[in-house]
Amino acid sequence: MKKPSRLGPKAPNPKSKFNNNKKKLNNIDKKKNKNDSSDKVGAKKPKPQAEPISPSQQLNFFLDQFQSANNLQLSSLESDSLTEACVLDLSQGLDQEVSTLGKQVKAAFGPSWKEVLCEGQLMEGKIDPGNPAVLIISASALRSLEFLRGLRPLTRECPAAKLFSKHMKVDDQVSILKNRVNIASGTPSRIKKLIDVEALGLSRLSIIVLDMHTDVKGYSLFTLPQVREEFWDLYKNYFHQRLLQGDTQICLFGRIPIGTDGKKKQNKQVSEQ
């Protein structure tokens, strides 16, 4: 026998209320999990900020490398002459990527950057052919080309000189250096050869950019055996005296290993000072 139906409003079912609340909680959990997964997979993690390295630290690192590679000790007179003014203090807030080198160089020359870096005409008695204002030295031809691609906005009117041996003949480079050159990029061996034959001049040289990039095997300009020897040979013969006289600054561009008090060396970027 059927129970008589109850008149009036239907009494609430406690189970259905519980189920509704459970569904709401499940939906909230799904949204939360979705957000969490997007954070882990889709979102780009910010790059860790490198500790700034002062010009004096950079200079000490450079001189340590110089003395170690050449098995020598600088005299007190030379040490006193080589101050942190020898190191280009890079602009703050710019990462040291190839694409930002142009901004760094422009900042270094100040208001005269366009005249120094972009003009293409020779000026008798002031700007001689084959005398760059900026010289970039890398361990390989590929890295040299990467720098030149990053500097394209500055080299439209006055093409940069490619000073490496890969697919490049010395005679062709000598011909190029008979014109005005504001920016040049190359490897130590070929740069030295072109200076030796008096095709590449140094009278305007204000900044030497030293590429601190390490390759897939962990080698760099200062550690790749043959290139390292060629670089220090070039430096001793043609650049060291210019640094002592204050005619030229060096720029350690990229990440360099700084180690102190026997602690494990860490890669720190030479930027944001």
Tens of pLDDT, residues 50-91? 456 788 999 999 999 999 999 999 988 888 889 999 999 876
Cα separation, 63 vs 46, whole angstroms: 34
Q: What is the pTM of this model?
A: 0.76
Cα separation, 6 vs 240, whole angstroms: 104
Distance, CA of 20 to chain centre = 58
Q: Quick one: pLDDT at residue 5?
A: 52
Cα separation, 183 vs 116, whole angstroms: 10
DSSP state of 251: E
Residue with tokens 């101050």: 83
pLDDT tens figures, 163-200: 999 889 999 999 999 999 999 999 999 999 999 999 99
- The answer to whether the Cα torsion of 98, 102, 103, 104 is positive or negative is positive
Cα separation, 22 vs 148, whole angstroms: 62
Domains annotated on the chain, with CATH:
123-257 (3.40.50.300)
Q: For the chain, which ranges sit under pLDDT 50?
A: 8, 37-39, 47-50, 260-273
Q: Quick one: pLDDT at residue 256?
A: 80
Residue with tokens 């990229």: 254
